[in-house]
Amino acid sequence: MLNLKRLAFLNIATAAGLFAGHGFAQDKTLVVVLPEAPVTMEACMGNNTVNGRVIRINIYEPLTVVSDTTGQVEPRLATSWERLDDLTWRFHLREGVKFHDDAPFNAEAVVTEMKRTLNRDRNCHTEQQYFRGFNMTPTVVDDLTLDIKTDVPVPILPTFLSTLLISSPNSPLEEFTLKPIGTGPYKYDGENPGTEIRTVKNPDWWGEHSNVDAVKYIWRGESVVRASMISVGEADLTPELAVQDATDPALDKPYVDAETLWLRIDTEVPPLNDIRVRQALNYAVNREAMLGTLVSKDAVPSTQITVKGVLGHSEDIDDEVYPYDPEKAKSLLAEAKADGVPVETPILLVGRTNILSNSTEVMEAIMAMFQEVGLNVTLRMTEIGEWREYHNRPYPEGRQPVIVQTKHDNNRGDAAFSLQPKYACDGTNAAMCDPEIDAMIAKATAESGPDRGKLMEEVFAKLYREWVPDIHLFHMVSYARVGNRIDYVPNLLTGIEVRIEDVNFK
C-alpha cells in the first residue's frame, strides 16, 4: 500500500513537472479557436480549409485574390496583369516586398514556387485541384515582371493564380515545410505541437495592418466547447459553430459560406433519364419544412450550385425554386408511366454521413418525401470513401438509378470551377451529357471578356429550366462566434480563410 501511495504521488508530481506553458488571451493578441488543427503548414496545401484558415493570406500570399463581395480578381502580390495573346499572360509584381526571412520577393521567387507547387511528386492539393487541366511555362522578363505561357488558352489564369501561395525561395523544394515563410502580414512565431500555433505581426509587410499584434491559433473539435470559450473570454473568434450552438445573437454571426447542398440525379439511367421524373423529384421535396428544423433557419433554398457573388451565378432563376407540390409530382410520374417510363424501378438514394449536421435526418426526410409521391426509393448512408464511388466517374455499367447527396463549395469566385466538373460530358462528377450544354460551357469558360459571367449564367438557367439534372436544396449558412473584444464580419471566404487584417480590437 505504501508503495502504491508513493507511486500515486510520483505520478502526480511527474505530471505537474511536465506541464507545458499556456496563457490566456492577452491584449492585442487574438485567440482564434478552430474546429481542427492544420494538417500541414505547407504553402501548396493552403487551399484546404483546415490549413487555409491559418496560413492563407495571413502567412502566405498569392499573386491575386478573389473579392468576397464581387467575385472579381484583385491584386495582391501582383499589382496588375494583361493578356499578351491567347496563351500568354504578363504579371507585374509588387515592388519592395520581402519574405519573412528577408529574401526578396521577385519573379524568380514566383518561378521557384511554381516548381515547388507543381511538382507532382510532392502530392500537393493545389496542383491536383487547380493545375491539372493545363501546363504553364513561366519566363522572367525582369525582376518584377513575369510572363506565364499556357499550352491551351486559360482566360481566367489570374483567378487560378489566387490559389498559388508564394513561399520563400529558401523553403524546402521536396519535403513539406514545418516553418512557413511567406510575405504575409503575420509571420510564424512557433508552436506547441498539437496545442497551439503562434504568429506575430510582420513589421515589414507592404500593406496596412489591423491593430492585432499577434495571433494564437488553438483548436477544439467540439462546437459547444468553442462557443463556450468565446463566451467566457478564453478566445476571441471561431469561424465555425454547429447551428445548435449558435444560441447567442449578440455574438453569433451567420454568413453564407459558398456551400450549397443538393442532390445529383443520374440522368443516364431509367427512369431518371426522363425529365418528368426529375421534375417530379423536385416537386416532391418540401424545402420549407426543413428550414429551422433539419437545417439552419437562415439557409436559402437554391436553384443552382453557386452562390450570389460568384461570377456566373444566375440571379434570373433565384426566385424559381420548385414549390412543394406532391400532387403535381404524382401527375408527372403518372404521365411518364403512361408513356412507358419504368417509374417503379428501385432508386438508390445515397447520402454521406457528416456532410452536414443532421445529414442522415435530412436524407431520411427526403426519402420519405419521394416515397410519398409513389417512388420506390431506398436510402444508403455512406462514409466518404464509399460515397466517392457513386459521386465520381467512372460509374459502373448496368447500374441502378442513383441520386447522390452532395455539397459544392465554390469560393474561387468563378463558376467555371463548378460548371465543368459537374455538368460537362467529361466532368469528374457529372452524371449527364448533352453536347449543347458542353458547347455552352466551353464557350463560356473560354470567354475572357465582359460576357463571361452572362454566358455562364445562361448555362445555369438552361440547366435548371430545361435539363433538371439536380434537386437543389439550400445555400447553406455557417455561424462564426465573435467575442466582445473584437470587430470582425465573416464573409463568403471565411470558410477557407480568416484574414487577420480584417479583424480589429475595439
Q: Among residues 99 and 176, whose Cβ is nearest to other proteins?
A: 176
**Counting contacts by CB under 8 A, is residue 221 touching other proteins?**
yes
**Counting contacts by CB under 8 A, is residue 380 touching other proteins?**
no
- List b or e across 160-180, with b for residues whose CB sees 16 or more CB atoms inside 10 angstroms: bbbbbbbbbbebeeeebbeeb
Range in contact with other proteins (rule: CB under 8 A) among 2-10, 155-163, 266-274, 395-403: 2-10
275-to-332, 343, 356 alpha-carbon distances in Å: 9, 12, 28
Range in contact with other proteins (rule: CB under 8 A) among 158-166, 391-399, 442-450, 493-501: 391-399
DSSP state, 155? T
Amino acid at residue number 377 = V
**Counting contacts by CB under 8 A, is residue 145 touching other proteins?**
no
Contacts of 333 (CB under 8 A, 6+ apart): 276, 277, 280, 343, 373, 374, 375
Range in contact with other proteins (rule: CB under 8 A) among 12-20, 154-162, 265-273, 363-371: 12-20
Per-residue x/- marks for other proteins, 98-137, CB under 8 A? Answer: ----------------------xx-x-x--xx--x-----
Cβ(388)–Cβ(259) under 8 Å? no
Residue 273 and residue 222: Cα distance in Å, rounded? Answer: 42
Per-residue x/- marks for other proteins, 296-335, CB under 8 A? Answer: ----------------------------------------
Q: Which grid coordinates are listed for 171?
A: 523553403
- Phi first, then psi: give them for residue 402, nearest 5 degrees: -130, 140
47-to-37, 50, 506 alpha-carbon distances in Å: 14, 9, 30
Amino acid at residue number 128 = Q
Q: Among residues 152 and 178, whose Cβ is nearest to other proteins?
A: 178
DSSP state, 466? I
Which residues ranging from 32 to 61 are in contact with other proteins (CB under 8 A)?
A: 39-40, 42
**Counting contacts by CB under 8 A, is residue 439 touching other proteins?**
no
Range in contact with other proteins (rule: CB under 8 A) among 17-25, 208-216, 357-365, 487-495: 17-25
**Counting contacts by CB under 8 A, is residue 12 touching other proteins?**
yes
**Beta strands 29-34 and 186-192, pairing class:** unpaired
**Counting contacts by CB under 8 A, is residue 228 touching other proteins?**
yes
Burial of 398 (0-12, 13-18, 19+ CB in 10 A): exposed
Q: Which of 203, 249, 385, 435 binds other proteins (CB under 8 A)?
A: 385
Range in contact with other proteins (rule: CB under 8 A) among 19-27, 58-66, 236-244, 291-299: 19-27
Q: Provide the binding-site residues for other proteins, judged by CB under 8 A.
A: 1, 4-5, 7-8, 11-12, 14-16, 18-24, 39-40, 42, 120-121, 123, 125, 128-129, 132, 175-176, 178, 193-195, 218-222, 224-225, 228-229, 231-232, 234, 384-386, 388-389, 391-394, 421, 428-429
